Amino acid sequence: RHGNESPSSARGPRPRRRRGRRGDERGGGQGGAAPGLWYQRLEFVGDAALGLAFSNYLYLTNPDVGPGSLSVLRAANISTEKLARVAVRHRLYPLLRRNSPRLDQLVSQFTEAVLQEPEDDLVGLLYGGSTVKAPKVLADIVEAIAAAVYVDSNFHLEMLWKVIRGIMEPIITAETVDEQPVTTLHELCQKYKKNAMFKHWRRDNTNVVNVFVDGDLVGIGSSEQKMIAKLNAARDALHNLANSKSDLLTRAQVGSEAGEHREAKQKLNELCSKKRWRNPKYKVEKEQGPDHEKKFICSVQVETSDNAFVTIGYPMSRVKDAENSAASKMLNEVLGGM
């Protein structure tokens, strides 16, 4: 099944609903509870329901992806950063009954930062695209709404997905998830014979990851999800290394390796457009290594007015990066003088 797969292809027996104290049909008998407790109970259910819905959807739409990568995808799609942006873009916070000027101020600052991001900014969704931390209350609102739909549909997971999927866009997929910071950091350290080490610890309910290069602390990341905390830490490490005069990795080394290839496809497209050549054609020539360490080798073909050129890039952990590597080679070694 592909494309529009629902997160539940087969449903088991639905739990029987029982009447609450006031005769309401509430799964938990919460008729006599305070409204604040209802809200917290909905957060509890919504967190689990969203996790299960995304688990099923990602499992069905990624038949060749291993459990580790699926966990990263699920964590990215239900992270506080992602859910908070859903709440902002659908203007959910004004609907919350509240009396907290301080909370209003925090949400306002975050909202202003998010509205300046492109709607398809996956970097922002994954890592937090601004310096303003996502207020957890925004993610809680989305979880509570998901739970309300789930409970109201008599715990019908497929119905929950049909209702909630639209507001969860853009969904982060195996093709768009950005694990580049970790990969780039390891490749840089390997190239310059350095050792990168990630150390994980917990602070209350938050996962914190420190990055050390040859024993020196170079990056810190945090998140409710361990995988996302690691990505944040690697991204912070690359940023710090590129903007410092550290002898570990100079600015030129980081900049050339992490940035040059990433822009190569765009530069090649611009060159072909300027010369009125056909668009470059990319092809995956080879896949190598086990699933958890798979590398891709891509080629690119450029047809000029009187000739055709093909270059093959270096092995990379993502197809996108392998294409950029091939494009960089084409620009530097073949078309450099044209």
- Distance of alpha carbon 93 from alpha carbon 261, whole angstroms: 40
Measure CA 40 to chain center. 26
Q: Domains of the chain by range and CATH?
A: 35-168 (1.10.1520.10), 180-249 (3.30.160.20), 263-334 (3.30.160.20)
pLDDT tens-digit series, residues 160-209: 999 999 999 888 887 776 555 787 788 778 777 888 899 998 877 778 88
Secondary structure E strands in the chain: 196-203, 206-213, 216-223, 281-288, 295-303, 308-312
Model pLDDT, residue 118? 58
- Distance of alpha carbon 28 from alpha carbon 124, whole angstroms: 37
pTM of this prediction? Answer: 0.51
Model pLDDT, residue 217? 83
Mean pLDDT of all residues belonging to the chain: 77
Angle of the 157-168 helix axis to the 136-152 helix axis, nearest 10? 140
pLDDT-derived band at 35, boundaries 50, 70, 90: low
Count of C-beta atoms within a 10 Å radius of residue 108 = 13
pLDDT tens-digit series, residues 65-123: 888 888 878 988 898 888 999 999 999 999 998 899 999 999 999 898 888 765 555 54
Model pLDDT, residue 226? 78
7, two tokens: 């997160």
Residue 2 has pLDDT above 60, yes or no: no
